[in-house]
A = this chain, B = another copy of it.
Amino acid sequence: MSSQVKLNNEKIDRALLDSILLKRFFYVASFALYGGVAGLYDYGPLGCSLQANILELWRKHFVLEEDMMELDCAITTPHKVLETSGHVAKFADWMVKDTKTGDLFRADHVVEGFLEAKLEGDRLYRLQQGEAVEGAAPPAGDKKPRKKKNTVVHEPLTEEVKAEIEFILAQIDNYDGAGLGELIKKYNITSPEANNPLSEPVAFNLMFDTSIGPSGNLKGYLRPETAQGQFLNFKKLLEYSNEKLPFASAQIGRSFRNEISPRSGLLRVREFTMAEIEHFVDPDNKNHSRFDEVKDYKLRLLSAEQQLKGITEVTTIPIGEAVSSKLVDNETLGYFLVRIHKFLTKIGINPDRLRFRQHLNNEMAHYACDCWDAEIHTSYGWIECVGCADRSAYDLTVHAKATGQSLVVREALKEPLVYDQTKVEINEKAFGPALKKGAKPVRDYLLSLSESELEDLQKQFTDKLTVTGTDNQQYDITTDMVSIKRVTVKTNIREYVPSVIEPSFGIGRIFYSLIEHSFWSREGDEQRSVLSFPIGMAPIKCTLLPLSNNEVFNPFIKTIGRQLRDHGISTKTDDSSASIGRRYARNDEVGTPLAITIDFQTVQDNTVTLRERDSTKQIRQPVDVVVKIIKELVEESTTWEQVISQYPLFTQQEVSE
């Protein structure tokens, strides 16, 4: 909160931070009493409050400010829905098994870890030989959090092998199971830690499955994203928006991903809170009405083209320029990148450690046609925290096709539209009598075909053709029953499937990154850790500290606590017997920006001291004044700098701080 604290904490002591987060109950491994389950975490009071503050701001910043329609959809999802969306077939990772221990690993992580260890072994070998090694050790922060422990053998590589390994690592996301299997054979890759032979990679679907209802017949999954619930409500959303585009829905909720072998704390988990926006827009006009307001806003971008050239330096340019040069595809995408940036920096993410990276073709999800990730730099490297994908019309199209429902926008045209179209025409007199029961499934099949599919069919359809009806039976059709023709159509209505721009926030990753960015230690005293959350994010706004456990302080604690609570301001009383200095330190450690101390002078004149976390400066004022100041600080209608310019500093030496 104080601008005097300039956070420059790229290298943090992660072990220290982890121990603080555990000790102070920000979060813990779930079911720890039973030995824990990898990838599952419980948030304690401080974590829960920090998460709630992030989500509250998210709701204000997006849902309220942009007039989005918030939804809260079911988590358990029937098989058919996720089969249609492509998740049953494609939402999978490649998995390998240690053939001796039976341990299971993500194949790409194993290959990556193994090859990185080779490079590191080479580097260390050369260092030992006294060679000038190019570049220092790669900073721990520059790798994705994927590596498993591999024994690093100090061994030289030929330049050729080294180049080959670097080439593989650069495009590791590009390998499928067979490709990863070949790499494992070629490099004799064994399991990390145990060094045993590995199985062939097999696909493992990442959805948790379950069955709905008592019969066991309705197979279902826990949703892997909140998006599908929003797509399925498209018709109601369109109706709620008076049939007008663009509009956006939003959803905050839990999603699930049955990770093969989760590591990296909160960054790779099996259950996570997401906040997703689905912005539905005319595919022919992705301009945004408020783009003008943001066009000069500068972002740090790393394009696909740059990455393919091996460039890792971001380009900082105004979003207006990025859109006009087509680096960012359209105004709506650009507008959301800015809104995401504003949100992240507002909660306290360091803008110097935030970038937008464009996806390479090979790493795009099965539904996406363009994607920029907001990546935040942490001690684990650059972490994808927000994806901003253009899912095009993919989802609505597949759901419409699977259910036979029309998921389109109908727009009245001022001028009628005239165009040519390939259409199927059915000669009812011949069609029905010839196909009998097959008439409906064949008709449904033919009418479900897109224009290009019809054109393909037409090519094979000279006289007679065998087709598969929607009942999966085969039928013969002839040209006297069915004709496929190019016809001229005139219409006053334009019908189209909207495109969807999807900003998708991983709240847990943002939560963790924010903690790292807020973490530092007071100079000269490594043990005095501070979490400098912005006041809006701080889990507790104010600590109440009685000088000792003398009972005369109790009424003050009670009254001040109530006054602050009545303003909706969260407080915590620390009446332990530790010294005031020690208690201030504990207060700083959990990121509480303000502390009120109640001492014997309070009993005499009803004044208290108010201390600010980052500057450690204090003022002394009557209780009512202090409560008013705190309220204004929390509402952000004043700053600590303004407060100390208005009220004299209280400089009496603190006891034992």
Contact = CB atoms under 8 A, between A and B. Distances in A.
Interface in A67-105: 67, 69-78, 80-81, 95, 102, 104
A208 interface: yes
A44 interface: yes
A31 B74 contact: yes
Among A45, A60, A259, A402, chain B packs the most CB atoms within 10 A around the CB of A45
A541 to B, nearest CB: 11
A37 interface: yes
A239 B72 contact: no
A189 B549 CA distance: 69
B71 A258 contact: no
Contacts of A60: 568
A78 B45 CA distance: 23
A76 B229 contact: no
Interface in A210-243: 210-215, 218, 220, 222, 229, 232-233, 235-237, 239-240, 242
A273 B626 CA distance: 38
B208 A210 contact: yes
A636 to B, nearest CB: 13
A260 B72 contact: no
Given A72-B42, A74-B40, A242-B576, A403 B232 contact: no
B42 A69 contact: no
Contact of A33 (B52, B240, B405): B405
A402 B72 CA distance: 37
B44 A240 contact: yes
B256 A76 contact: yes
A48 B72 contact: yes
Contacts of A75: 75, 254, 256, 271
A260 B214 contact: yes
Nearest to A262: B213
A509 interface: no
Contact of A45 (B240, B260, B568): B240
Instruction: Give chain A's interface residue range (CB within 8 Å of chain B).
Output: 35 or more
A489 interface: no
A563 to B, nearest CB: 13
Interface in A20-41: 25, 28, 30-34, 37-38, 40-41
Contact of A65 (B271, B403, B565): B565
Nearest to A221: B210
Contact of A43 (B47, B72, B260): B72
B81 A34 contact: yes
B31 A49 contact: no
B64 A42 contact: no
A212 B270 contact: yes
A44 B236 contact: yes
A330 interface: no
Given A215-B104, A239-B25, A576-B242, A33 B399 contact: yes
B44 A74 contact: no
A204 interface: yes
A78 B271 CA distance: 14
Nearest to A79: B34
Contacts of A229: 30, 42
A477 B211 CA distance: 48
Contacts of A232: 30-34, 42
B25 A76 contact: no
A511 to B, nearest CB: 11
A200 interface: no
A42 B214 contact: no
B42 A70 contact: no
Interface string A463-496: 0000000000000000000000000000000000
Given A64-B568, A210-B210, A258-B212, A71 B45 contact: yes
B565 A74 contact: no
A329 interface: no
A306 interface: no
B403 A34 contact: yes
Nearest to A539: B70
A209 interface: yes
Contacts of A499: none
Contacts of A271: 74-76
B233 A73 contact: no
Interface in A178-221: 204, 208-215, 218, 220
Contacts of A565: 64-65
B76 A40 contact: yes
Contacts of A214: 95, 104, 204, 258, 260-261
A399 B31 CA distance: 11
Contacts of A568: 60, 64
A25 to B, nearest CB: 5
Closest 8 CB pairs of A and B: A30-B74, A43-B72, A45-B69, A40-B74, A42-B73, A48-B70, A208-B210, A210-B210
Given A28-B236, A253-B254, 5 more contacts: A25-B236, A37-B220, A45-B69, A74-B271, A104-B213
8 contacts: A25-B236, A25-B240, A31-B78, A37-B78, A38-B213, A42-B73, A43-B71, A43-B73
